[in-house]
Amino acid sequence: MTPILQLEEVRYTYPGNAEPALRGANLSLWGGKKIAVLGRNGSGKSTLFLHCNGILRPDGGQLYLAGKPVKYDRGSLLGLRRHVGIVFQNPDDQLFSASVVQDMSFGPLNLGLSQVEASRRVEEAAEQCEIVDLLDRPTHALSGGQKARVALAGVLAMEPSVILVDEVMASLDPWMRDQILSILHDFAARGRTVVLATHDLALARTWADLVAVMEGGRVLAVDTPDVIFSSEAMLAHLGPRSAWFYPPLRSASEAALAPQGDRATKPVAPAVPAPVDGPLCEPLTVPTERNPHSNGSGNVHADLGKMTQR
Amino acid sequence: MHVIDRHVYANRGRGVDPAHKAALVLLVLALCLLLDRPMVGLLACAWMWVLSSLWAGLPTGVFGRVLLAQGSFLVLAVAGVALSAGTAFPAGVSWVVHVGPLAVWASFGSVDTALHLATRALGGTAALDFLVLTTPLVDIVELLRRLRIPSVLIDIVALTYRFIFILLESLDRMHNAQDSRLGYSSFGNAVKSAGLLGSRLFVDSYQRSKRLQIALDSRGYSGDLQGLTPSYRTDRSLWWLGAAATATLLIGRVLI
Ligand SMILES: Nc1ncnc2c1ncn2[C@@H]1O[C@H](COP(=O)(O)OP(=O)(O)O)[C@@H](O)[C@H]1O
Ligand SMILES: [Mg+2]
């Protein structure tokens, strides 16, 4: 089976910058997966996304769409953009039209769809994102959460195979956030791929099927949340004290005894995601003595896991 | 801007085909210009007020307020036509006021010209106000498209409209950021802050346009800002009202 989209050793330096933004990034995206991309500010998440969509052209390395190398002529780019959609961090950058329905129909019409088909897709996406009552509204009269949903709907209406969502969660309230997560979950459930750049470790651990960790323009590891969050090395990349808040799922001694225990210590290996079997998240038991902030209520994350896992 | 914007999306005339509204407006505009009688201009104002308040259901004060604002500019503009000033005034003037060594005068002729100008312009303005207050920009853009205006021009109109609001928002945010750090605490500070804000806004718009280009490209932009063609309804009552307005203006020309 070939991945929908594969990035191989992609290198890129922004014009005028000395430091490269990507230094040989590898990533493979399969259908039906929800992938969270973690990594510090400036680690190259947005740059990686812009490559997936053909906005930026790698200085070195190669992209493959369904196994075929991506060329950068007009036709191939349209093909790539038909399959890969990006929801940008700031919806105001994305919404250019005076009215919601005009903005949402922009992508589908660019795909060469008829007015009838485009309006069907707009309606469908609007229903999914619960913005049917906003369709006739002017874009500038929307709230932040509404803008985020309209921006998402505008990309969903193009029915891409892969949707990349760049850090939109930070400015949303928990309800809005949950709604968008569940839309993305449904999208993945239909065999498509969701890639979400985020700084929310709890979200990555509970919602995602796979977690990719970026650092300094490389993808350090792609693996299940279990594996990533049981690796001390990975946790060290995810932020100060993340080992306190997100202690390894299995204690170190257990992991060492387990048959495939060496995965926990060497998850940096291939950029090929392991197939996910069984439940996405094991019930979490947080050893309270390792978590100075938990005050004995160590199952906070476990509750969160139940709520966001649909 | 915001006053117009608030009402334009919430009036009964909104869904009506913009071509029909525009036809009525152009007819009234043409009558005001061609018939060139003060009464015609005033009747046109009255009709447009009736159409916006009773037909489109805008609050009665809104149309009046908008027209009043434009009317006051108009009065200033035609004052120059009606009045003249100098040290000596010609024979045959009707009114003279002496202000020290200066004389300010007007004649029947000049006042009449000013009145014609003002009412003609006011009638036309009222007609356009009706269109602007009942038709969102999306519909005006659609109308331009049907008139086969080159799409580059139409896209510029559409983007500019959107960017006005985005820029206003950035302006607001930056102003608040400066104000909260005492950027406007004295006249000197205010001048400096305003200058910084202006240059910053310029850079901001430039960067934003680059991000917009990226966002458009990512959705397959190919040089044309396409959108769905909206569907409109036809309102016969607008036609009858239009006919009645035309008749009234013509009668106004004959009688007065
Ligand atoms: N438009 C740009 N021009 C120049 N350099 C940029 C631009 N965007 C990002 N960079 C640089 O590229 C690197 C990666 O940035 P980015 O992909 O935005 O990271 P992230 O999204 O993970 O925060 C950073 O060092 C940043 O300074
Ligand atoms: Mg980023």
pLDDT by 10-residue block (mean), chain A, 310 residues? 92 95 95 94 95 94 94 90 93 89 93 94 95 91 92 95 89 88 93 94 92 95 91 84 65 46 39 40 39 40 41
Q: What's CA B171's distance to the chain center, in Å?
A: 23
DSSP H helical segments within chain A, as ranges? 45-52, 74-83, 91-94, 100-110, 115-128, 144-156, 174-189, 201-207, 225-229, 232-238, 242-245, 252-257, 262-265, 300-308
Instruction: Please give the distance, rounded to the nearest whole angstrom, from the Cα atom of residue A42 to the centre of ligand 1.
Output: 5
| Beta strand A210-215 pairing with A34-39 | parallel
Average pLDDT, chain B: 89
Domain-located, residue B223: no
> Are B97 and B170 found together in one domain?
no
> Are B41 and B164 found together in one domain?
no
ipTM score for this prediction: 0.76
CA distance A195 to chain B (A): 16
CB contact under 8 Å between B141 and A98, yes or no, is yes
Which structural domain range is residue B78 located in?
A: 2-135+231-255
CA distance A139 to chain B (A): 8
Domain-located, residue B173: yes
Radius of gyration of chain B (CA): 24
B132-168 pLDDT, tens per residue? 999 998 899 999 999 999 989 999 998 888 888 888 8
Among protein residues, the one with the nearest Cα to ligand 1's atom 8 is A47
Whole-number Cα distances in Å, B177 to A90, A251, B114, B163, B188: 19, 48, 47, 21, 17
> Are B108 and B188 found together in one domain?
no
Nearest one of A203, A202, A201, A267 to A232, comparing CA atoms: A267
Q: Is the CB of A43 under 6 A from ligand 1?
A: yes
CB contact under 8 Å between A93 and B165, yes or no, is no
A21-47 pLDDT, tens per residue? 999 999 999 999 999 999 999 999 999
Domain-located, residue B42: yes
> Are B24 and B113 found together in one domain?
yes
Alpha carbons A142 and A101: distance in angstroms, whole number? 13
Q: Are the C-beta atoms of A298 and A285 separated by less than 8 Å? A: yes
Q: Are the C-beta atoms of A200 and A211 separated by less than 8 Å? A: no
Nearest one of B173, B170, B177 to B202, comparing CA atoms: B170
> Are B181 and B236 found together in one domain?
no
Helix axes of A100-110 and A144-156: crossing angle, nearest 10 degrees: 20
Domain-located, residue B214: yes
> Are B47 and B131 found together in one domain?
yes
Domain-located, residue B225: no
Domain-located, residue B224: no
> Are B65 and B163 found together in one domain?
no
Q: Are the C-beta atoms of B78 and B49 separated by less than 8 Å? A: no
Ligand 1 atom closest to the Cα of residue A44 is 17
Alpha carbons B111 and B94: distance in angstroms, whole number? 10
CA distance A280 to chain B (A): 32
Q: How much is the pLDDT for B168?
A: 87
> Are B50 and B172 found together in one domain?
no
> Are B91 and B185 found together in one domain?
no
A283-299 pLDDT, tens per residue? 333 334 444 443 444 34
Q: How many domains does chain B have?
A: 2
pTM of the model: 0.79
> Are B83 and B36 found together in one domain?
yes
Q: Are the C-beta atoms of A294 and A241 separated by less than 8 Å? A: no
Chain B from 64 to 83: CB within 8 A of any A CB: none
Domain-located, residue B97: yes
> Are B94 and B165 found together in one domain?
no
> Are B57 and B96 found together in one domain?
yes
* Confidence label for B255 from pLDDT (cuts 50, 70 and 90): confident
Domain-located, residue B226: no
